[in-house]
Amino acid sequence: MRRPLVAGNWKMHGTCASIKQLLNELSAETLPNTIDIAVFPGLIHLQTAFAQVSDSVIAVGSQDCAVQLEEGAMTGETSALQLKDIGCSLVLVGHSERRQLQEESDRVICRKFIAAQAAGLTPVLCVGESLAEREAGQALATVQQQIDAVLVELGVEVLSQAVIAYEPIWAIGTGLTATPEQAQDIHAQIRAHIATYSASVAQELRIVYGGSVKAANAAELFAQADIDGGLVGGASLNAKEFGAICRAAGN
Ligand code: PEP
């Protein structure tokens, strides 16, 4: 039985005051203890977040890490070891906004994945197709290529200490959500693909869905057999909405 994960990606949002308030409000929500819950604040708000969640069930992760594991001459970067040192337990790698805006390649993402695991962080590997790729019937091929950039390079066992987030780009921040059937279809095919390397790793792997998840659609998405929770952007900035999404995953 896979334990669901619901994670909030706060992107480049917030101030110290608003992050504090959001976490206070979230702590006041009734959160299920049958799922894992995490938030990914911006780097400069990590310390503020840790201070707020110290005695709660909410884990804190980073939205990115450097390709290099150790500290060094990499201006503007933060290493996975530094993130571990301040208390992070998870890190997003390969979010589509970084693939697009920072031109991160599969190779760079693979190096970040390696650094994350070497530091003892759980990488959340984000994959997903563009609208053009979906319309060309290339959704699965795109996603498989993004996964294989890690899987073939490092071996399937690395996925036993990772999470995959399937996030169709056309659904991120657009209000367009994949239907539960569309999402389940890709999730099931991702799991089947990984099962060709290891049935047990595929069976245990958490594959979460991201792309305009909100309280109104979460239950239906999370009811799908291969959807093990969500990576939530916009809706995670509202504690009541995010709390409701967490409860949908806990039911
Ligand atoms: C995301 O950025 O990972 C995301 C899924 O965003 P949203 O929920 O706003 O679509």
pLDDT tens sequence across 119-153: 999 999 999 999 999 999 999 999 999 999 999 99
The protein residue with its alpha carbon nearest to ligand 1, atom 7, reads: 233
Q: How many whole angstroms separate alpha carbon 127 and alpha carbon 50?
A: 28
Centre a 10 Å sphere on the Cβ of residue 87 and count the other Cβ atoms it contains: 15
CA of 130: how far to CAs of 140, 152, 237, in Å? 11, 23, 24
Q: Using a 6 Å cutoff on CB, does residue 62 contact ligand 1?
A: no
| Ligand 1 centre distance from Cα of residue 167 (Å) | 8
Residue whose token pair is 């959160």:
31
> CATH number of the domain that 128 lies in?
3.20.20.70
pLDDT band at 165 (very low <50, low <70, confident <90, very high): very high
Q: Domain range spanning residue 142?
A: 5-250
Q: Using a 6 Å cutoff on CB, does residue 172 contact ligand 1?
A: yes
Ligand 1 atom showing the smallest separation from residue 212 Cα:
10
The protein residue with its alpha carbon nearest to ligand 1, atom 6, reads: 233
Q: How many whole angstroms separate alpha carbon 237 and alpha carbon 13?
A: 8
| Ligand 1 centre distance from Cα of residue 244 (Å) | 16
CA angle (239, 211, 99) in 5-degree steps:
110
Centre a 10 Å sphere on the Cβ of residue 169 and count the other Cβ atoms it contains: 20
What does pLDDT average to over the chain?
Answer: 97
Catalytic residues: 95, 167
Ligand 1 atom showing the smallest separation from residue 213 Cα:
8
Residues of the chain with pLDDT > 70, as a percent, come to: 100
| Ligand 1 centre distance from Cα of residue 89 (Å) | 20
**Which residue out of 92, 126, 131, 167 has the highest number of ligand 1 atoms within 8 Å of its CB and is therefore the one to mutate?**
167
Query: In sequence order, what E strands does 85-228 have?
Result: 90-93, 122-127, 163-166, 206-210
Q: How many whole angstroms separate alpha carbon 238 and alpha carbon 113?
A: 29
Q: Using a 6 Å cutoff on CB, does residue 234 contact ligand 1?
A: yes
Q: Using a 6 Å cutoff on CB, does residue 213 contact ligand 1?
A: yes
Among candidates 101, 110, 207, 181, which has minimal Cα distance to 151?
A: 110
pLDDT tens sequence across 13-38: 999 999 999 999 999 999 999 999 99
Domain count, the chain: 1
Q: Using a 6 Å cutoff on CB, does residue 173 contact ligand 1?
A: yes
- Quote the pLDDT of residue 6: 98
Q: How many whole angstroms separate alpha carbon 73 and alpha carbon 51?
A: 29
Q: Using a 6 Å cutoff on CB, does residue 168 contact ligand 1?
A: no
Q: Using a 6 Å cutoff on CB, does residue 128 contact ligand 1?
A: no
pLDDT tens sequence across 221-251: 999 999 999 999 999 999 999 999 999 999 8
pLDDT tens sequence across 56-79: 899 999 999 999 999 999 999 999
- The DSSP string of 188-251 is HHHHHHHHTT-HHHHHH-EEEEESS--HHHHHHHHTSTT--EEEESGGGGSHHHHHHHHHHHH-
Ligand 1 atom showing the smallest separation from residue 165 Cα:
3
| Ligand 1 centre distance from Cα of residue 111 (Å) | 23
Task: Note the pTM of the prediction, 2 decimals.
Answer: 0.97
| Ligand 1 centre distance from Cα of residue 51 (Å) | 25
